[in-house]
Amino acid sequence: MKKFTWFMIIVFGMLVLSGLSLAIAEELKLGRFDGVTIKACLIGGGDYEKIYEKFFPKFEELTGAKVEIVYKGNGFDIDKKMKLDFAAGTVDYDVCWNHTSFFSQYFDFVEPLEKYFTEEELADFSPRIMQFAWKDGHLWFIPRHADISALYYRTDIFNDPEIRKKFKEKYGYDLRPPETWEEFKEIALFLNNPPEIYGTQFAGKEEALSGRFWDILMAYGGKILDENYKPAFNGPEGIKAATLLRDLYQAGAMPPGMVNFLWDDVAANWANGTIAMYTEWYGWYSYFQNPEASKVAGKFDLARQPKGDAGIHSGWAGAHAFSVTKFSKNKEAAAALVKYITSYEPQLFEGQIGYIPVRNSVFETLKKEAENSPDPLAKKRLELMQLQINEDFTPPPIVPEWIPISNILYPTLQAIMLGDKTVEEGLNEAAKKVEELMAEAGYYD
Amino acid sequence: MMYAIRSRKQQFFDRNIVFLMILPAIVIVAALIVIPMVYSFYLSLTNLNLLHPSRARFVGFKNYLKLLEDSIFWRSLLNTIIFMGIAVNVEFLLGLFLAQLIFKTTRGQGIVRTAIMAPMMFAPVLVGFQFKWFFNDQVGLVNNLIYFFTGEYHLIPWLINYPLNLFALLAAEIWMSTPFMVIILLAGLVSLPVEPFEAAAVDGASPWQQFRYITLPLIGPFTYIAMVIRSLDLGRAYDLVRIMTAGGPANRSEMIWTYTFRLAITDNKFGLGTAMSFITVAISFAFVIYLFRQLARSRQEVY
C-alpha cells in the first residue's frame, strides 16, 4: 500500500512538472522546433553567461530545438564582428546580441520582430525602453537588462557635521546630494581635497566621456543631433555642459590622469575612497558594497542623477538586448528563443544576480525579496532604479553613427578639458566633423 | 640514338622547367599577398564605410588627399617618427653597451644572457598594463618613488601631458626591446675574428680605438639587421600604445597604427583607413630600402 502511494505521488509529481513546463511553453507560445539548431552570437564574460547556462537547456527541453553559441565576446568585439560579418555576408547565426547604443547600425541586417510578439507579451517591459526599441514602425530588439547611472555619494563626508557647517556658511544651503548640475559643481569644488579625495571624476575617454557629456547635455535640454540629423551639441546647452567638465577638471576637482581613465579605473578610485561623489552605473554596486574589495562599503548612498535647467534628470542609459538576424533560416525558432530568454523567469534570475531588470513585474518581485535583505540600501536601490528606468532612461542618438560621433566628440572634449582648445572652438570643430560624417553617410541627400 | 630526337613538348619542358617549378610558389604568393594587396589598394580608392557597404563607390585619390590635410594624421606620423627614432637609437646604444658588458663577462655569462632576455618573454599587452600602472599619476610607481625621495606629493600626469606620455611609451618600449638588440649584437661580437684585435693591441691601439675602428665597423651588418627589424617592429607599434594611452588624450600620443585602427574599424571608414595603411606601408618600404642600402654599404666597407 505504502509503495503504491509513493508511486502515485511520483507519477502525480511528474505530471504536474510536465504540465508546468507545458504551461510555460503554452503561456509563451513558443512552439516546437524539433531538430532545429539555433545558432547565437552573444555577449560573453562573467555574469552575462549565467543565463545561457541555466536557461538554454530549459529552452531546448521545452521546444526540442538545440541552441549553439557560435561566438561570445564583449560588446565592442561583438559589434566589430557583426559589422564585418554583415558587410561580408558571412553571418552564420540566428540570434544575435543587440544594444540600444548600437542597434541602429544593424537595421539592414536584423529581422523586425513585431510579428512574433503579441501586445500583451510586450506590455510588461519598461515602456520608456520599448519606445526606443521601435523605429520606423518596426520592433528591432527585445531588451534583456538595462544599465543607467545613479549619483553615488559618500555619506561619511556628506553627514560630517564640521563639513556641513562650513558648507552652509559658504553656500547658504544644507549640504545634500546635488539636485542640479550647478550644485554638483559647487559641491565637487567644495569637497575637493586632492590627493586624498577628489570632488568628483568620470571615465575620461572613449564613449565613456562622450556619454557623460550627453548626460549633462540632455539635462540642459540639449541634443547631440537635431531632427534633421545636424549636429546640435555646439549650442548654448552644449557649451554649458562642456564648460562644466572643463571647469571641474581645470580646478583640479578631477584627477589629471582622468582623461586616460576608463570605467574600471574610476570604479577602483571610488572603492579606494578617493572620490567624494560621482555618477556611476548600478552594475558596480555589489563590488562597492563588498568590504573586502572596497573601502567605502557601507559608507555611501545613492540618489537620482542631477538635473539641468531644462528640468530633465540625466539618464544616459543602455540596454542589452537580443535580435534575430535577417540571414536566419529558422526565424520562428530564433524568435522563440528570444521570447523565452527575455521572459519573466530568466529575467528574474538576471535581476537576482544583479542586473537591472527591464520588466516591471521583475522589479516588483525583487523589491519584495529586498525587504528581508541585510543591505539597508537594497530596497531603495531598486526603487531608484525602477524610477530611472521608467522615467530617465535615454539612449544616445539612435543613428548608426553614434560611436563614430562619439569618436569625434571625446578627443574634442579631452582637448577642451586639457585647455588645448576653447569650449566654443572645440565644439564647433567637432560639429563640423560630425556634419561631414553625416553628409558622407547620406543623411542630407 | 634515342636521346638526340626530342619532342617539342619535351623541349618546352626543358626550357621552362625552372618556371614550372616555381609556379606553385608564385600561385601561393599571388593568392595570399598580391591579390589581397591589389584589392585593398582598390578599397583605399573607395569611400567604403562599414556601416553602409552598399554606398561604397570609387573616389580616386580623395582619401589620400584627405589624409594629407588631416592634422591628426601628421601628428601621428610625427609621433611615430620621433618614437621610432629615439627608441631604435637608445635601444641600440643601450644594447651595444650591455652586449659589450656581457661579452667581457668571464663567469656566469650564460646566466646573464638568459636573465637579460626576460623582458622579451612578456606579451606587449602585459608590458603595456604594467607600465600604465608605473606611470599612473595617482597610484603609479613612478610618482610614488618621486614622493618617497622628495617627500613631496607631485601629481605628474605622465600619460596625459605631451611629451611626457611619449616618454612613458618609450620607457616601456625600450625596456621591452633592448634585450633583442643585446642578443643580436652579442652574437655579432662573439662571431668577430680575434686576429685584428691582437694586431691592433700589438700596434698599441687603445681599447677605445679598438672599439671605434675595429668592433664597430665589423659588427656593422648586425647593427643594420637589428635596426631594420626593430624599426619595422616599432613602425607597427600598436598594442603597447593602445593599452597605455590609446593614442590619447585628445590624440596627443596618436601613432600611425592606432590612428589607422581608429579610422578603419572604430570610425568604420574602411576606405580611409586602408589608404592610411598604404601610406604607412609606402613609408616602411622606403625606410627598409634605405636601411638595406646602408647594410650593403657597411658590408662592402668590411669585406
Same domain, A139 and A155: no
Within-domain flag for A5: no
Give the type of residue at B48: L
Q: Which residues from chain A sit within 8 angstroms of residue B144, using beta carbons? A: none
Q: Do A187 and A291 fall into the same domain? A: yes
Instruction: Check B50 against A87: CB less than 8 A apart.
Output: yes
CATH number of domain containing A32: 3.40.190.10
CB of A303 less than 8 A from some CB of B: no
Cell 523605429 belongs to which residue? Answer: A135
Contacts of A420 in chain B (CB under 8 A): 250
Contact partners, residue A274, CB within 8 Å, separation at least 6: A195, A196, A197, A198, B138
Q: What is the ipTM of this complex?
A: 0.73
* C-alpha distance from A317 to closest chain B C-alpha (Å): 21
Residues A183 and A249 in one domain: yes
Parse chain B into domains and list their residue ranges. Answer: 70-302
The pLDDT score that the predictor gives to residue A26 is: 47
Q: Which three cell numbers stand for residue A50?
A: 549565467
Statement to judge: residues A303 and A361 lie in one domain: no
Peptide bond into B124 cis (omega under 30): no
> Which residue of chain B has the CA closest to A88?
B53
pLDDT digits (tens, 9 = 90+) for A43-80: 988 789 999 999 999 999 999 999 999 999 887 789 88
Largest CA distance in chain A: 90
Tell me A205's DSSP state. Answer: S
Tell me the shortest Cα–Cα distance from A109 to chain B, in angstroms.
Answer: 11
A134 membership: H or E segment, kind and range: strand A134-135
Predicted confidence (pLDDT) per residue in A341-363, tens digit: 999 999 999 999 889 999 999 99
Query: B154 touching A, CB under 8 A?
Result: no
Percent of chain A residues past pLDDT 90, beyond the cut: 75
Does A270 lie in the same domain as A140?
no
Nearest-angstrom CA–CA distance, B140 and A325: 46
Q: Kindly report the pTM of this predicted structure.
A: 0.79
Any CB–CB contact under 8 A between B138 and chain A? Answer: yes
Range of the domain at A53: 18-147+317-391
Chain A residues with CB inside 8 Å of B272's CB? none
- Count contacts between A and B (CB, < 8 Å): 77
Q: What is the dihedral of CA A48, A54, A55, A57, to 10 degrees?
A: 130
State the pLDDT at residue A4: 67
Would you say B53 and A87 are in contact if contact means Cβ atoms under 8 Å apart?
A: yes
Q: Specify burial of residue A236 (Cβ count, 10 A radius: 0-12, 13-18, 19+).
A: exposed
Q: Is residue A432 part of a domain?
A: yes
Candidate CATH numbers 1.10.3720.10, 2.70.70.10, 3.30.200.20, 3.40.50.720; the one for domain B70-302: 1.10.3720.10
The answer, for A83 touching chain B at a CB cutoff of 8 Å, is: yes
User: Does residue A186 sit in the same domain as residue A300?
Assistant: yes
Q: Which three cell numbers stand for residue A305?
A: 542623477
Rounded (10°) angle between helices B220-235 and B270-302: 170
- Taking only the tens place, the pLDDT of each residue in B251-271 is 888 988 889 988 888 888 899
pLDDT in tens, A270-301: 999 999 999 999 988 889 999 999 999 999 99
